A = this chain, B = another copy of it.
Amino acid sequence: MSNRCFRRTAAGRVVQKLLIKAIRERNLIRTGDRILIAVSGGKDSTVLAWALEQVRPALKTDYELAALHISSDFCGCCKKSVLSQKLEAWGIPFTDLFVPIIGRLKPGEKMNCYWCSTQRRTELLRYALAHKFNQIALGHHLDDIIETFFMNMTAKGELSAMPMALSYRKYPVRLIRPLGYVEEQQIAACAAEQDILKAACTCPYGIHSQRRDIRKGIAQFTGNSSAVKRRIFKALSDLLVQGEPLDRVNP
């Protein structure tokens, strides 16, 4: 086996191994689960879909997978057909749902990240409930979790993180983040190895400047070292466990 071939195999294996570890340690998937994967077309959620299908034999758990993509009225460039072809090839049913995110704004209201994510989360929940899914899988990875921890600390003045699993008080559905143990660079390597091209719209509103500063700051003091990032993640370990079930739609 050539070195190149060895490297090509490795990235997908790394993601699968960390996914299995997270699923087992955090009890994320159980027999009989109907799991709806929220797919944007970006590398993270597409790798999540691929990996959740790949790890079936290792998990020895019987679960169903489906994928939901939410299109919106400010997303004109989406290459959904690339995404749907991929998912079809992996045997994962795909649905595209149109949500008029700008159209729902009241007169005088401006578009913002919070509005957009709440609308998406609401539709995701509504679809999951209507189609009897008991789990919604999100593509957030280790770097997202660290970044959100820093965002919450600097913007809200609280030590809190996105939990790996989050139940609602009102609805029989749970949010799970099976890629929580995987670093973004490991997902990117896996996407390159498996020819998972990015097929998501770029948000025309761009990245929030505060998030950009947070990202730069984290890069500065971790030096992008995996070891340092994993130590930060270890520090957050207790915060990744849900306390009370959630009332709001968008945590």
How many chain A residues touch B (CB < 8 A): the figure is 28
A-side binding surface: helix, strand, loop or mixed? Answer: helix
For the complex formed, measure the closest distance between the CB of A207 and the CB atoms of chain B, giving whole angstroms.
14
> Which listed residue, B153, B213, B228, touches A220 by the CB 8 Å rule?
B213
With a CB–CB cut-off of 8 A, which chain B residues contact A216?
220-221
Cα A230 to Cα B155 in complex, Å, equals 10
Spot the interface stretch: A54-62, A90-98, A183-191, A231-239: A231-239
Q: A153-B231, A217-B219, A217-B220 are in contact. List 5 more A-B contacts (CB 8 A).
A: A152-B235, A156-B231, A157-B231, A213-B220, A217-B222
Select the residue from A153, A222, A223 with max chain B CB neighbours within 10 A: A153
C-alpha spacing A234/B228, complex, angstroms: 24
**Residues of chain A having any CB pair with chain B under 8 Å:** 150, 152-159, 213-214, 216-223, 228, 230-232, 234-236, 238-239
- A236–B231 Cα distance when bound, in Å, is 18
Q: Is A154's CB under 8 angstroms from B232's CB? A: yes
- Copies of this chain present in the complex amount to 2
C-alpha gap A6/B186 in the complex (Å): 57
Can you list the 6 inter-chain pairs with the closest CB atoms, starting with the nearest? Answer: A217-B221, A157-B231, A157-B234, A217-B220, A217-B217, A153-B235
Most buried by B among A216, A217, A218: A217
Q: Which residues of chain B are within 8 angstroms of A153 by Cβ–Cβ distance?
A: 231-232, 235
Q: Are B159 and A159 in contact (CB under 8 A)?
A: yes
Q: Which residues of the other chain, B, contact A218 by a CB distance below 8 angstroms?
A: 217, 221
Which of B157, B221, B239 contacts A154, CB < 8 Å?
A: B221
A155 vs B232: C-alpha distance in the bound complex, in angstroms? 8
Q: Which residues of B contact A158 (CB under 8 A)?
A: 234-235
